[in-house]
Amino acid sequence: SAAVVPGDLLLLAEGDIVPADAGLTHASALLVDESMLTGESVPVDKSPHTGTPDDARVHAGTVVVRGRGVASVTATGKAGALGRIAALMETRPEPTPLQRRLAALGRVLALVTVVLCLIVFALGLLRGTAPGLMAVTAISLAVAAVPESLPAVVTLALALGARRMAARHAVVRRLPAVETLGSVTVLATDKTGTLTEARMVVEHVWTPRVAARLTGAGYEPSGEIRIDGTGGDDGVVPGADGGGRAGGDHAGGGGTGGRPATDGELAPLRELLTAAALCNDAELRPPSEDDTRWGALGDPTEAALLTAAAKAGCDDRRALNRRYPRTDEEPFDSLRKRMTTLHHTPDGQVLVCLKGAPEAVLDPAVLAEPPRLLEHARSTAARLAAQGYRVLAVASALVDEAPERARDAERGLRLLGLAALNDPPKAAAAATLADCRAAGIIPVLITGDHPATARAIATRVGLLPGSAPYDEPGKEPGTGLGSEPGHTTDDVVTGQALAAGDVPDPTLVRVFARTEPEQKLDIVQAWRARGHVTAMTGDGVNDGPALRRADIGVAMGRRGTEVARQAADLVLTDDELSTVVAAVEEGRRVYDNIRRFLLYGLAGGTAEILVMLIGPLLGLPLPLRAGQILWINLLTHGLTGVAMGAEPVARGAMRRPPRPPGQHVLGDGLWQRILLLGAVVTVASLAAGLGARELGAPWQSVLFLSLLAAQLGVVLGLRDRLVTRENLFLPVAVAVSAGLAAAAVYLPFLSSVLRTTALAPRELAVAVGVGLLGFAAARLGGRDKSRDADRDKSRDKSRDKSRDKSDGPRREP
């Protein structure tokens, strides 16, 4: 591709990667996979003789699935489709919400700390204390007041979060993205390969005699054939609703509705699928060491027909070709929209097999069938197509002599039936989006696929009305964010309508189809403009700009393109959307731990400043020396503070809404708790010091040890799970810090450096009591929050029960 320039001729064949944008001059049954560029779930027919300009062009990076072609290069580099997308990605990463919040907090802390330390310095001078001593004391107090271990805590929390995410198949490419995941309020996901299997599957088969549904997923030739009804005038597939579900099955093609087929009912189905397998150029590939799943070579639609034939008990394609050797063919092209093959039969006759689009096959010029049957077949195909399926009609005939050309055999055929194919949702897709809603995250589908396909998938996974996980339009559970009165979110909007300005507010829409890369950017930007934190998933080149612009870009590791992975902050090694939910949980854990440390560190710093300010007013001339302040700071903000960054996820973390994007890092009542805890520690420590002075005990040492013990008690009291095997580093760090605190009083070397005095057992018990008081204050201060979480959980259960009663029995995915 590096040597190609405009004007060069490209000779394209099956398996080639198109090296540059080019216009077709000749094509023979050319089928190109453009999913990485457009998001289209099925390969696209290309021909220079169609009236659509897009059908006469091929683009760099796309793959030739079938056929041959000659094309003249029209654009390379930045002038091509890939180049235009690359230009959209030339933006610098913006600071994450946490980085912005901590930067603002740092400025406030610096100002407040400097002012308070100057006050302490001035008060000391007024009392006649030496300026040098007060200067050292004020500087030490500034060091203690600012939680300087915060960068270490944040880095450790993010690193541990990244490590946990990697163990759950999510590789973090930018460390700050770990925390940003916990702030996500909108999850914009693509369809192919993310919500769906990215593998075509035959889900329904209709014949004039019987209608059936096939179970199973992917290209693995295993599954059941379930009879849903007769194929006559009883409808498309009895039991199938507008979302393509049958028999109450929410996963589509994987349920157990209907009944097993009898041998008599299997006969017409096998006849149809045998003809489809003969009129076929694909191959199935069994699992290998590199890939444990069944794969396919060739057109995904044809591979799905081979899988369906195997499920029906038909011979494999090679055995069929040996029994019915192919003698001639008329390949599929975008004008005729059908493919015909001729085969010799064992008794010397010629078998004609034809498959194609219903409008090209259900024609009296092709089929020798009664008009009533043709009309019913057309209505059946139309209804299946409206449900988002790709429908193929199959016909055959036995003739005595082969015609001169296969095309000449396309008349007087017998209709075998219809096959409805779909790229089905992943088994866990509906449950994953339900988990997003429970966590207060708004899911949005953005795809380049057909609107009918997008609607069908969105309905089946619960993004649109007609499925159990869906909530009423305009109201997103747990977020308080919804659409304006009079607007609904149950319409599929196309990229064309978006570009034409027909959508005044894209944030009111939940499903977008036929979108271009620029429009994906506009959708993400619209949500960000409303103050939301967005996560965008994607795997194609066309997703790159949106992945870069979103707050969190999530790329697929298996089937994703290198462009998408390089643009993303997070790469899913298992290509499962549920991994994003697990990553969000880790992000919330990280943010909770950072807030927990800020509560602990700032409450301790507040207490130390208040002790130095209030102590002299109560008759304690210099409550703490500079060395004692620094020792307290070392033990509380050192190992103990850093250990808080490894705390496990809080209970109910994924049952509460995400924090408001504009909320300060000390918001949601945290600064009030800081002041409350700081006041409790201050009062308890000063009371211990004053009591020791009244008794003639070494009051400064008692005050020093009490203040330190109170903060260690607080750190244990702030744990969400008091007794847990996770993060044993924290209780060990507290024990080590307590031992070093005692050493500062009882070891002669440290005692002389820190100017402390050994305490009697009764005085030591006072310090321990102050530590227990700090523990109790921290536990009581968090009780209301736990009670709110329990109440939210009870409300969620009540809502689920009421929904179960209204919607009928609910089955776990």
CB 328 within 8 A of CB 342: yes
Alpha helices in 262-333 (DSSP H): 263-278, 300-311, 317-323
What are the tokens at 805?
A: 């009663």
| Most confident by average pLDDT, 229-233, 359-363, 535-539, 613-617 | 359-363
Sign, Cα dihedral of 328, 331, 336, 342: positive
Q: Which residues pair with 512 in a beta bridge?
A: 446, 493
pLDDT in tens, 83-97: 777 666 666 566 766
Q: What is the pLDDT of residue 39?
A: 63
- Check if 234 is active-site: no
Q: Which residues pair with 352 in a beta bridge?
A: 342, 397
Close Cβ partners of 115 (under 8 Å, ≥ 6 residues apart): none
More confident position, 239 or 401: 401
Nearest C-alpha neighbor of 257 from the set 203, 309, 208, 201: 203
Q: Which amino acid is at 404?
A: E
Q: Which of 455-464, 578-587, 658-667 has the lowest mean pLDDT?
A: 658-667
Above 60 in pLDDT, residue 64?
Answer: yes
**Domain ranges (residues) in the chain:** 9-88, 147-167+588-781, 170-195+427-575, 201-422, 789-813
**574 secondary structure, DSSP code:** T
Q: Which CATH architecture has domain 147-167+588-781?
A: Up-down Bundle (1.20)
CATH number, span 170-195+427-575: 3.40.50.1000
Q: What is the pLDDT of residue 783?
A: 52
Q: How confident is the model at residue 790 (pLDDT cuts 50, 70, 90)?
A: very low
Alpha-carbon distances, residue 305 vs 146, 200, 273, 312, 804 (angstroms)? 67, 9, 7, 11, 37
Q: What is the pLDDT of residue 812?
A: 35
DSSP strand pairing (511-513 vs 552-556):
unpaired
Q: What is the Cα gyration radius of the chain?
A: 35
SS3 754: helix
Sign, Cα dihedral of 223, 225, 226, 228: positive
pLDDT in tens, 178-233: 878 888 999 999 888 788 887 889 999 999 999 999 998 888 898 889 987 655 54
SS3 725: coil
Above 90 in pLDDT, residue 247?
Answer: no
Rounded to 10 deg, the angle between the 150-167 and 97-126 helix axes is: 160
CB 142 within 8 A of CB 112: no
Close Cβ partners of 749 (under 8 Å, ≥ 6 residues apart): none
Q: Which amino acid is at 590?
A: V
Above 60 in pLDDT, residue 717?
Answer: yes
Q: Which helix (H) or strand (E) holds 216?
A: none
Above 80 in pLDDT, residue 590?
Answer: yes
Alpha-carbon distances, residue 20 vs 81, 612, 787 (angstroms)? 9, 72, 61
Close Cβ partners of 65 (under 8 Å, ≥ 6 residues apart): 14, 31, 32, 33, 43, 298, 299, 300
Roughly how many angstroms between the first and final C-alpha of the chain, as a whole number?
46
Q: Which amino acid is at 744?
A: A
In three state form, how does the secondary structure of 357-403 look? Answer: CHHHHCCCCCECCCHHHHHHHHHHHHHHHHCCCEEEEEEEEEECCCC
Task: Give the span between the Cα atoms of 410 and 340, in whole angstroms.
Answer: 7
Q: How confident is the model at residue 795 (pLDDT cuts 50, 70, 90)?
A: very low
Task: Give the span between the Cα atoms of 304 and 199, in whole angstroms.
Answer: 8
Rounded to 10 deg, the angle between the 626-637 and 729-746 helix axes is: 160
pLDDT in tens, 719-751: 988 888 888 899 999 999 999 999 999 999 999
Q: What is the pLDDT of residue 114?
A: 84
Q: What is the pLDDT of residue 476?
A: 41
Task: Give the span between the Cα atoms of 172 and 268, in whole angstroms.
Answer: 52
CATH number, span 9-88: 2.70.150.10
Q: What percent of the chain has pLDDT over 90?
A: 34
Q: What is the pLDDT of residue 74?
A: 93
Q: What is the pLDDT of residue 652?
A: 83
The DSSP-derived string for 782-798 is: THHHHHHHHHHHHHHHH
CB 703 within 8 A of CB 685: yes
Q: Which amino acid is at 11?
A: L
**233 secondary structure, DSSP code:** S
Q: What is the pLDDT of residue 416?
A: 96
The dihedrals phi and psi of 23, each to the nearest 5 degrees, come to: -100, 135
More confident position, 595 or 243: 595
Above 60 in pLDDT, residue 239?
Answer: no
Alpha-carbon distances, residue 203 vs 38, 221, 382, 462, 558 (angstroms)? 25, 13, 16, 19, 25
The dihedrals phi and psi of 802, each to the nearest 5 degrees, come to: -65, -35
Q: Which amino acid is at 375?
A: E
Task: Give the span between the Cα atoms of 244 and 256, in whole angstroms.
Answer: 14
SS3 586: helix
Helix-, strand-, coil-residue percentages of the chain, each rounded to 5: 45, 15, 35
Sign, Cα dihedral of 471, 473, 479, 480: negative
Q: How confident is the model at residue 686 (pLDDT cuts 50, 70, 90)?
A: very high
Q: How confident is the model at residue 103 (pLDDT cuts 50, 70, 90)?
A: confident
Q: What is the pLDDT of residue 811?
A: 34
SS3 596: helix
pTM: 0.72
Task: Give the span between the Cα atoms of 644 and 719, in whole angstroms.
Answer: 9
Q: Which of 190, 228, 333, 543 is catalytic?
A: 190
Q: Which CATH architecture has domain 201-422?
A: 3-Layer(aba) Sandwich (3.40)
pLDDT in tens, 2-43: 889 999 999 998 878 899 999 999 888 888 888 777 766 678
**Angle at 526 (CA atoms; ends 524, 527), nearest 5 degrees:** 70
SS3 424: coil
To the nearest whole number, what is the mean pLDDT of the chain? 82
Contacts 24+ apart (CB under 8 A), 74-82: 74/6, 74/20, 74/21, 74/22, 74/23, 75/6, 75/20, 75/21, 76/1, 76/4, 76/5, 76/6, 76/20, 76/21, 79/21, 80/20, 80/21, 81/21, 81/37, 82/37, 82/541, 82/563
What are the tokens at 784?
A: 């209301």
pLDDT in tens, 462-491: 888 754 444 443 444 333 333 333 344 567
Nearest C-alpha neighbor of 273 from the set 238, 215, 315, 327: 315
Task: Give the span between the Cα atoms of 8 and 3, in whole angstroms.
Answer: 10
| Most confident by average pLDDT, 175-184, 339-348, 520-529 | 339-348
